[in-house]
Amino acid sequence: MANPYGGARAYQAQSVLTASPGQLVLMLFDGALRYIGQAQEAFGSGSDNSKRIEQINSSLVKAQNILVELQATLNLDAGGDYARNLDRLYDYYIRRLFEANVKKVVDPVNEVERLLRQLRDGWAEMLRKEEATRFERARGVA
């Protein structure tokens, strides 16, 4: 029997292969936020406690791994203060998610979700403006 998700996985793989570096960062933000959302859902779940704890742990670890990847891709020399500030932000987010996971409390997760969503939305806006500028230049407008 064919895998019903094969087409979706192929599309996702192609999306990653053809994405710009900026789009890849946006995809990582979206992935981290998806896992954070899964953890928030598990915190609110009334399901079996051991399954709930495993879901929280698994989701938070995946979100932390994505944040570690984002942090590892920073070029601190070329990025100057901006890269150093992002490095500190990612470190803070990772520590707060770790705290939430150890203590099994949702407040740090909610905080990181809010802050990371703001960062993600700012990044997406920057990409939109870059794309609009490239398009205008290609048309000879700017």
Task: Name the strand (E) or helix (H) holding 36.
Answer: helix 21-44
| pLDDT for res 8 | 53
Q: Under 8 Å CB-to-CB from 116, ≥6 apart: which residues?
A: 29, 32, 33, 36, 93
Please indicate, yes or no, if residue 61 is contained in any of the structural domains.
Answer: yes
Q: Under 8 Å CB-to-CB from 115, ≥6 apart: which residues?
A: 89, 93
Please indicate, yes or no, if residue 114 is contained in any of the structural domains.
Answer: yes
- State the first-to-last Cα distance of the chain, in angstroms, to the nearest integer: 54
Sequence-ordered alpha helix ranges (H) in 45-106: 49-72, 76-103
Residue 79 belongs to a domain with what CATH number? 1.20.120.340
Whether residue 131 has pLDDT greater than 90:
no
Domain enclosing residue 111, as ranges: 19-135
Please indicate, yes or no, if residue 112 is contained in any of the structural domains.
Answer: yes
State how many domains the chain has.
1
For residue 43, give both structure tokens.
């915190």
Please indicate, yes or no, if residue 58 is contained in any of the structural domains.
Answer: yes
Determine if residue 104 is left, alpha or beta; phi over 0 gives left, psi from -120 to 50 gives alpha, anything else beta: left
Please indicate, yes or no, if residue 72 is contained in any of the structural domains.
Answer: yes
For residue 128, give both structure tokens.
């939109």
Percent residues over pLDDT 70 in the chain: 85
Rounded to whole angstroms, how far apart are CA atoms 92 and 53?
23
Question: Residue 42 — pLDDT band, cuts 50, 70, 90?
Answer: very high
| pLDDT for res 113 | 98
